[in-house]
Structure 1
Amino acid sequence: MFSEQTPILGRPTAGVAQIAAFILARPHGEYTTHDIEAVIVPVYWQLCAEVGIDPTLAVAQMIHETGNLTSFWAARPQRNPAGIGVTGQKQATPPPDTNGWAFNPQRQQWEAGVSFATWEHDAIPAHVGRLLAYALPIGAENPVQRAAIERALRYRALPARMRGSAPILKQLGRVHNPTGQGWASPGIDYGAKIAAIATRIVTGR
């Protein structure tokens, strides 16, 4: 149903209950059934539908990036849904400015990445708007899409050359992106992995 060639923009292919059921059928970290059914999935669905992204794809990316909400970055207080700003930088001592860093108590080190105060007002809008920025070139947005992108990029900027560089899932991977950068690095099969999760959500497998 989905492949790495699937466009990021598209109509919803699964409902809130179906997407939530997929997450809940697997280990989902510290997040409760209420968190997932009443907050995380409905907000993804609403924001994606408003801007023309298939919510199934955005949630599939979140599931892939966070191990179905089980990762350090997905957990509170980070609430990072998609590796936003997670560059792989790490150090044992606190950085001079801890903004854009989080202390990982399991690894006893500071790691670079963006933390979000809430899922509904911060993390999910930052993810959806950033995904939209990858899909749409500057000037191709309608007013609702433009507002979503501007809101997202206040959390972490995106170079102008990256705008519209990934209209399909495959191009989210650096090695397939025309700019030589991307959401994931190297990201050889990044789009294919998201597509596989999305297919499982829709088919219920």
Structure 2
Amino acid sequence: MSYKVKICLDAGHVGSKYNQSPVVKSYYESAMVWSLHLKLKAALEARGFEVITTRATIDTSMGVYDRGAASKGCDVFLSLHSNACGTESVDYPVIYRAHDNLNGADTIALKIAKKIGELMGTKQAGRRATRKNSSGGEYYGVLRGARAVGTPLYLLIEHSFHTNTAAAKWLSEDANLEKLAQTEAELLADYCGVTASTEGKTAIMGEARATAQQMALFSRSKNGSPKLTACSLEELAELFLEEGKAEGVRGDVAFSQSLHETGYFKFGGIVQPGQNNYGGIGALNGNRAGQAASFPDPRIGVRAQIQHLKAYASTEALVKECVDPRFSLVARGAAPYVEWLGAADNPSGKGWAVPGKGYGGKVVSLLGQILAQEVPQPPQMPEAGDGVPQWQKDALDKLVGAGVITAPDYWRSRLSDGVTVGEVMAIVASTIQES
């Protein structure tokens, strides 16, 4: 059984309205770090970490020392914050690490701090710091608690200053917190040598396992009237297999994705049936109906989706001319597995769907149901001689051996036929020896 690196995450303050920004009144440090620590938890777990948190809810009260001590048995403790000071222009991110650089904490602390600064666009570069109390130990109670229980790496991360207008506004955006979570998770994964497990994952590249008939039958079982304007369901399934084979992409995976994106070809969302767009390409959150990519015919629409999947799953060049309008926007090879198509489930934080938690799992589930689809078999015509009891065949062989039957091939072909009285009399007569 492989060992999992265990991390304890601490959202720095209790309650939803603690430490209000004096310059951006809608910002509260406690609300920001609560949201960030949940996103970071998901990002770390997607990369293979085991993650615990110090508190069950945002309103759970817990002493600072006890929060640090909650990391007992963990490899890493992180307490998340934003800083404050009396000077509005100060904006550098800072990470407090062990005062004696225990286990070389300085390296990862500085790396994370600088990256946060780059991501937030702060004017002052990220830095690391230490702070001791009058007894010479850690000043911050959470760090003191973590050290007391023997946690090897403990850090207090100040995500810039919420007394800075630009920083407080940036930290108020949910999408920016997602960026922070993915970036910090990636740096920690690299530092701890953690790689996401690919065991049991479904590769996007490869040969399809489902047949076009299975794909069409399953889809029709969920929607008997697919809104396809330029081809039949069976023809569309064949197109997915043909275009997928050309680029080395599993066409059954792409078809399964289309079922999820279109609701079994019911559409009804941003993409309209006549756009021949079966993967939601260009259908971004907030777009109005029809505001997505359109393709001249079903084949080109399928080809674009196959190419977009290949962009995520592989770094290989396209075989056919690119028709995917968003191909160049993809981080090539970022999602080789279906389960990683949702950014929230992807170790790199990138994906077809954003945030897309559980997106790939839903596609895999549909693929499994397609593969389990039974296809009616046509009735089989019995071969010549089938249905003839073995004792009749044995009787024929005995009569041939006794010289009673002299034309075995003729009679063997007629074993299942009726015979006339005259034929029976002839066979019996042949057994009578004349004196």
TM-score interval, normalised by the smaller of the two chains: 0.7 to 0.9
Relative to the length of structure 1, the TM-score reads 0.75
1:159–1:74: structure 2 CA closer, same or farther, 3 Å change rule? closer
Partner of 2:286 in structure 1?
A: 89
Report which of the two structures shows the higher radius of gyration computed on alpha carbons: 2
Aligned letter for 2:326?
R
Partner of 2:314 in structure 1?
A: 136
Q: How far apart are residue 193 of structure 1 and its match? A: 0.5
Aligned letter for 2:314?
L
Assess if the C-alpha contact under 8 Å between 2:307 and 2:327 holds in 1: no
> Which residue, 148, 173, 182 being the options, matches 2:342?
173
Partner of 1:126 in structure 2?
A: 304
Aligned letter for 1:82?
G
C-alpha separation in 2, matches of 1:65 and 1:43: 17
Assess if the C-alpha contact under 8 Å between 1:172 and 1:184 holds in 2: yes
Partner of 1:159 in structure 2?
A: 329
Deviation string 1:52-107 (CA, Å, 9 cap, x unpaired) is 2222111000000110110135543222211101112336xxxxxxxxxxxx3xxx
C-alpha separation in 2, matches of 1:61 and 1:67: 10
Partner of 1:7 in structure 2?
A: 203
Partner of 1:191 in structure 2?
A: 360
Q: Identity of paired residues, percent?
A: 28
SS of the counterpart of 1:163? coil
Relative to the length of structure 2, the TM-score reads 0.37
C-alpha separation in 2, matches of 1:80 and 1:195: 20
C-alpha separation in 1, matches of 2:273 and 2:344: 31
Q: How far apart are residue 178 of structure 1 and its match? A: 4.4
C-alpha separation in 2, matches of 1:169 and 1:75: 25
Consecutive aligned runs of 4 or more in structure 1 exceeding 6 Å deviation: none
1:136–1:81: structure 2 CA closer, same or farther, 3 Å change rule? same
C-alpha separation in 1, matches of 2:306 and 2:328: 13
1:183–1:30: structure 2 CA closer, same or farther, 3 Å change rule? same
Q: Which runs of 5+ in 1 are unaligned?
A: 92-103, 105-110
Assess if the C-alpha contact under 8 Å between 2:295 and 2:301 holds in 1: yes
Q: How far apart are residue 24 of structure 1 and its match? A: 1.6
C-alpha separation in 2, matches of 1:37 and 1:74: 21
How well do the aligned residues superpose, as a CA RMSD in angstroms?
A: 2.4
**Aligned runs of 1:3-152 on 2, under 5 Å?**
5-27=201-223, 28-31=225-228, 35-38=232-235, 40-72=236-268, 73=270, 75-90=272-287, 104=289, 112-120=291-299, 122-137=300-315, 140-141=316-317, 146-148=318-320, 150-152=321-323
Q: Which has the higher contact order (CA 8 A, sep 6+)?
A: 1
Q: How far apart are residue 179 of structure 1 and its match? A: 4.3
How many residue pairs are counted as aligned between the two chains?
A: 174
